[in-house]
A and B are shown apart, each in its own frame.
Chain A
Amino acid sequence: MSAAPERLGDLARVVRSKNAGALLFTLDVMFADEATYLRVRDSGALDASRIATLYGVSDNAVDVIPYDVAWAIKVTIPRPVPSGDPADSDVYGAQQHAPLLDIEIP
């Protein structure tokens, strides 16, 4: 199963973000088939430290949860500020997923 590197955005069926409460963003990456899901899950490309670097948060603030039954990987990170705070610019948290699209999957 060795393939040329591909962008996560080209491999995933869904890449989305949303609030999980007022203090967290949760990002879901979902795949159309099991083989692609397993390739990404097992590649290590979505490990907590990679996500932490990408979003500028600390490693231990990131949760990455593979969800085999739905061929999905969930990533949860803290918000920079609570939803709707004066410095917030994404009250629903629906546009925080884009950096994931460019992750290269080996």
Chain B
Amino acid sequence: MVSSPPLRLLAASGMLGYGFTEAAFENVLAGGIDVIGCDGGSMDPGPYYLGSGTPFVSRRAMKRDLALLLEAGVRGGIPVIIGSAGGGGGAPHVAYTRAMVDEIAAERGLAFDMAVIHSEQEQGRLRAAVRDGRVRPLGPIGELEEATIAGTTRVVAMMGVEPLQAALAGGAQVVVAGRCSDAAIYAAAPIARGYDPGLAWHLGKIIECAGQVVEPRTGQDCVVGTLAADHFLVEPGHPDKRCTRMRIAAHTLYENPSPYLLTEPGGTLDTRACTYEQVDPRRVRVSGSVFTPAPEYTVKLEGVSALGFRTVFVAGVRDPDLVAGIDDFVAACRERVAGEARALGVDPQSYTLTVRVYGRDAVMGAREPVREPLGHEIGIVADVIAPDEDTSRAIMAKARYALLHTDFPHRKCISGNLAIPFSPSDLPAGQAYRFSVWHVMALDDPLEPFPIEMVRVGR
């Protein structure tokens, strides 16, 4: 337990590039702040962004947010921590963010020490971990096989507080971290200074989505967590917004399998004994959080494998006989495409053709409980994933032709079965990936898979 003054931590936005108001940001700075943090990533947008090494926010939006944070942090001597830089936290994502920091520093005449923490994992390290029995599934997925590792495009490990603490201890004014626990961005500095880890982790967990815990919900905005020895306070950055007890209490539900026991690198945050109090119309006080260290230190591994090139096709059906017979029709088209593929020398096993019927069960698939007659129109979204772009386009062209012109019972619309909204009709969607690694890896040293590079910016 420490007797230090309360530590004030700013979550600028739920995602670097999702924005925050300057009114909130200036209000927070005027009140004094000890750490400026912002999460930069997520796996929610799916495997593509990790695989392709690209961000899922726009460059313009990301640079706007980052420039404001760097300017305030560097001029005020306040540490700035960006977690899961560039979205996926892989090597290209970290490099992208680092280059943006350099660009902003040059434009604004800022000079500072920066720590760049890497989180992309070499296949050799992963193979060794598998052989040592240090890797196990995180949820319903198989054991990690060496063959799967060999097929991955990119794998990242999610760091805990320790690499961030090492970066700060090394004198970093700005930390650009690869894949990182969202809560660790905010828990790192307090834990290093001796604050209670349960409260620090819980504070991080509550504020990492920033504006999501604020009312009114008019978009992303700043949130401040103030950590004391035996509690923390959560308040919005914006003077006209507020945090409510229910929203703060409910936030540990969000995107977690349990609101009570939250797994973090190195242990579990336990909220079962927590109390949440509304101290005034804007602020909520939380106490009772407990962090239980795990018997072994584990980090999450996230990895993707390339599947091939995707081409997408969208169309609508208005003909009542075709709507009524859509299942048999799609099956017939699929057969026809397989035959056409063989004629082109393409093995039908080498591609996937997925046809989603909107208006029936495209959203929930086999889990859809509603099995009623379809409405007057339905939407078809088809996609082909094939080993290369040429094959993908060729198969989609055959699928488009089959869907447009294949016969069906009582067919009267013999000039075409579909309303195609776009020209071109077949839309290249780039490389497709899948999550092939979703595991945890046990470590002896929480720093080991996360090399820290100290660099001087702007001098």
Contact = CB atoms under 8 A, between A and B. Distances in A.
A57 to B, nearest CB: 8
Interface in A75-106: 76, 78, 80, 82-87, 89-92, 95-96, 98-99
A3 interface: no
B195 interface: no
Contact of A74 (B138, B259, B363): B259
Nearest to B302: A22
A78 B294 CA distance: 25
A100 to B, nearest CB: 11
B363 A70 contact: no
A26 B254 CA distance: 8
Contact of B366 (A30, A61, A80): A80
Contacts of A61: 140
Given A83-B47, A89-B363, A67 B140 contact: no
B69 to A, nearest CB: 26
A84 to B, nearest CB: 3
Contact of B138 (A21, A67, A86, A87): A21
A91 B434 CA distance: 11
Interface in B230-274: 246, 249-250, 253-260, 274
A22 B356 contact: no
Interface string A44-87: 00000000001110000101010101111010101010111111
B255 A19 contact: yes
A85 B260 CA distance: 30
Interface residues of A, number: 39
Contacts of B385: 86
Given A65-B260, A74-B259, A89-B362, A84 B47 contact: yes
B435 A83 contact: yes
A102 to B, nearest CB: 8
Interface residues of B, number: 42
Contacts of A89: 356, 362-363, 365
B44 interface: yes
Contacts of A12: none
Contacts of B44: 19, 83, 91-92
Interface string B431-443: 0111100100000
Contacts of A39: none
B354 A72 contact: no
Contacts of B274: 69
Nearest to B141: A23
B309 interface: no
A51 B346 CA distance: 43
B48 A84 contact: yes
A20 to B, nearest CB: 5
Contacts of B435: 22, 82-85
A72 B276 CA distance: 15
Contacts of B45: 91-92
A98 B366 CA distance: 14
Interface in B121-139: 138-139
Contacts of A98: 364
A67 B253 contact: yes
Interface in B161-218: none
B446 to A, nearest CB: 21
Contacts of A30: 250, 253
Interface string A6-32: 000000000000111111101010100
B369 A84 contact: no
Contact of B363 (A22, A28, A90): A90
B153 interface: no
Interface of A: 18-24, 26, 28, 30, 54-56, 61, 63, 65, 67, 69-72, 74, 76, 78, 80, 82-87, 89-92, 95-96, 98-99
27 contacts: A18-B255, A21-B43, A21-B138, A21-B139, A21-B257, A22-B302, A23-B139, A23-B438, A24-B139, A28-B253, A63-B258, A67-B259, A69-B276, A70-B253, A72-B250, A72-B253, A74-B259, A78-B140, A82-B438, A84-B47, A84-B48, A84-B435, A85-B435, A89-B363, A91-B46, A95-B364, A98-B364
